[in-house]
Amino acid sequence: MRLNIACIEGDGIGPEIVAEARKVLDKVALVYGHEMIYTNILMGGASIDVHGVPLTEEAIAAAKAADAVLMGSIGGDTITSPWYKLPPNLRPEAGLLGIRKALNLFANLRPAVLYDELADACPLKKEISSAGFDMMIMRELTGGLYFGERHTTEENGVRKAVDTLTYDENEIRRIAIKGFEIAMKRKKKVTSVDKANVLDSSRLWRKVVEEVAQNYPDVTLEHMLVDNCAMQLVKDPAQFDVILTENMFGDILSDEASMVTGSIGMLASASLNDSKFGLYEPSHGSAPDIAGKGIANPIATILSAAMMLRFSFDLDKEADAVENAVKNILKKGYRTIDIMSKGCTQVGCKEMGDLLADEIN
Ligand code: IPM
Ligand code: MG
């Protein structure tokens, strides 16, 4: 099979981790008889440096022409980087929001898994973490507060800022359907998270999710208020299978869930539209403080590449091979610095990529 992949290396550690993901994909191609065709796209700070804007029309066209996009990470140090002297709509993050919207990537899948081998990294008490957890956060990605109208004004010397939170039922229904579909392939439980005791948008969310649930009688649906969910994630993370929620709640809860695993360098993500097309990126940021040092953990990006094989190309066997390689290498005791523990062998970004590529055969 020919896999047309657009690569956004991005900023900070982005280029290093994408290089290792490509190394692993190339090995998959070799072993399973596929052809990988890569096109590089500039986005974020890297695009600002060349074009003055974080995302160009050409970049969007190149992404659309590919079957899937593999991304590293974008953004820099918000205090020291000149990118953050620019107006907000020209900063690196605007590129990411822009490409999500342009490609209609409304469904964001963020798995948070506690790996047995990394259980010690979990910051929760043993009696809680020993139950293990494996959840999928499904975040609506192109609506809500992050895409609503906003403005800042000053009236009679008083500054005022407005952001608006809007959802229509179609936006809610399509992410809900994705959520239930994913749940059918997992433990068949959906926890829909909202703030229906206060917000109209949440009350509509709840109604539409219940309508969609009618078509999935095998899936157990529960509703949870977002503030309670934030507590439950640290109190009893094992209770969750699929968490289905709107854009801002998902942004916040997915960071919390990743922190609870204690190993954010391991967490992948996929952003999908209605077709097989998707953008795949690690859940972590661009870590400008360690960029170029060769110590970044490439595993989250490599696991994102595995999600790409699974969701955009239906190559389940190949995706399994990559995920098993990660488990085996952890079992053999290899760790990058962020997940290092006593008795293990510390390796750099490149070595980790080499080990994982070697493990696929
Ligand atoms: C994320 C990030 C982005 C978001 C930022 C960089 C715009 O926090 O992917 O979670 O809020 O969606
Ligand atoms: Mg975030």
What is the DSSP code string of 121-141? G--S-HHHHTT--EEEEEEE-
Kindly state whether residues 245 and 341 are assigned to the same domain: no
Task: Give a yes or no: residue 275 inside a domain.
Answer: yes
Residue located via tokens 């065709």: 37
Structure tokens at 91: 């900063």
* DSSP-assigned states of every residue in 61-107: HHHHHSSEEEEEE----TTT-GGGGS-GGGSHHHHHHHHHHHTT--E
- CA–CA separation, 108 vs 121, rounded Å? 25
> Is residue 208 a contact partner of residue 169, using CB atoms and an 8 Å limit?
yes
Kindly state whether residues 138 and 68 are assigned to the same domain: no
Active site residue 227: yes
**Residue in 93, 264, 267 to alter for ligand 1 test, most ligand atoms within 8 A of Cβ:** 93
- φ/ψ of 210, rounded to 5, equals -65, -40
Active site residue 320: no
Burial of 162 (0-12, 13-18, 19+ CB in 10 A): exposed
Kindly state whether residues 297 and 337 are assigned to the same domain: yes
Kindly state whether residues 86 and 187 are assigned to the same domain: no
Kindly state whether residues 17 and 77 are assigned to the same domain: yes
Kindly state whether residues 165 and 65 are assigned to the same domain: no
Digits of tens for pLDDT over the chain (361 positions)? 999 999 999 999 999 999 999 999 999 999 999 999 999 999 999 999 999 999 999 999 999 999 999 999 999 999 999 999 999 999 999 999 999 999 999 999 999 999 988 988 899 999 999 999 999 999 999 999 999 999 999 999 999 999 999 999 999 999 999 999 999 999 999 999 999 999 999 999 999 999 999 999 999 999 999 999 999 999 999 999 999 999 999 999 999 999 999 888 999 999 999 999 999 999 999 999 999 999 999 999 999 999 999 999 999 999 999 999 999 999 999 999 999 999 999 999 999 999 999 999 9
- CA–CA separation, 311 vs 15, rounded Å? 23
Which residues share a beta bridge with 285?
none
> Nearest C-alpha to atom 11 of ligand 1 is from which residue?
251
Kindly state whether residues 219 and 274 are assigned to the same domain: no
- CA–CA separation, 248 vs 228, rounded Å? 15
Burial of 238 (0-12, 13-18, 19+ CB in 10 A): middle
Kindly state whether residues 78 and 154 are assigned to the same domain: no
Q: How far is CA 178 from the centre of its chain?
A: 16
Task: Give a yes or no: residue 113 inside a domain.
Answer: no
| Among 261, 289, 316, residue at a domain's last position | 261
**Domain at 27, CATH number:** 3.40.718.10
Task: Give a yes or no: residue 114 inside a domain.
Answer: no
> Is residue 21 a contact partner of residue 305, using CB atoms and an 8 Å limit?
yes
**Measured in angstroms, how far is the CA atom of residue 251 from the centroid of ligand 1?**
7
The contacts of residue 128 (CB under 8 Å, 6+ apart) are: 234, 235, 236, 237
Does residue 97 line the site of ligand 1, with CB under 6 A? yes
**pLDDT the model gives residue 120:** 86
Task: Give a yes or no: residue 112 inside a domain.
Answer: no
Taking the alpha carbons at both ends of the chain, their separation in whole angstroms is 18
> Nearest C-alpha to atom 5 of ligand 1 is from which residue?
93
**pLDDT the model gives residue 28:** 98
Task: Give a yes or no: residue 7 inside a domain.
Answer: yes
Task: Give a yes or no: residue 290 inside a domain.
Answer: yes
Kindly state whether residues 92 and 128 are assigned to the same domain: no
Burial of 337 (0-12, 13-18, 19+ CB in 10 A): middle
The contacts of residue 106 (CB under 8 Å, 6+ apart) are: 140, 141, 142, 143, 171, 174, 175, 272, 273
- Nearest bound ligand to the CA of residue 110: 1
Task: Give a yes or no: residue 115 inside a domain.
Answer: no
| Among 241, 261, 281, residue at a domain's last position | 261
Does residue 141 line the site of ligand 1, with CB under 6 A? no
Kindly state whether residues 339 and 238 are assigned to the same domain: no
**Measured in angstroms, how far is the CA atom of residue 185 from the centroid of ligand 1?**
27
- How many distinct structural domains can be found in the chain? 2
Kindly state whether residues 82 and 137 are assigned to the same domain: no
Does residue 234 line the site of ligand 1, with CB under 6 A? no
* DSSP-assigned states of every residue in 309-342: HHHTT--HHHHHHHHHHHHHHHHTTEE-GGG--T
**pLDDT the model gives residue 11:** 98
| Among 239, 261, 283, residue at a domain's last position | 261
Does residue 165 line the site of ligand 1, with CB under 6 A? no
Active site residue 195: yes
Domain containing residue 172? 123-261
> Nearest C-alpha to atom 8 of ligand 1 is from which residue?
251
> Nearest C-alpha to atom 12 of ligand 1 is from which residue?
251
Q: Which atom of ligand 1 is nearest to the CA of 255?
A: 10
CA-closest candidate to residue 179, choices 237, 219, 138, 208: 138
Kindly state whether residues 163 and 92 are assigned to the same domain: no
Among 11, 241, 251, 338, the one annotated catalytic? 251
**Measured in angstroms, how far is the CA atom of residue 283 from the centroid of ligand 2?**
8
Structure tokens at 303: 């696991």
Residue located via tokens 């090995």: 27
Task: Give a yes or no: residue 250 inside a domain.
Answer: yes
What is the strand order of the sheet 35-40 is part of? 35-40, 2-10, 68-73, 278-280, 270-272, 107-113, 134-140, 242-245, 189-194, 220-225
Active site residue 251: yes
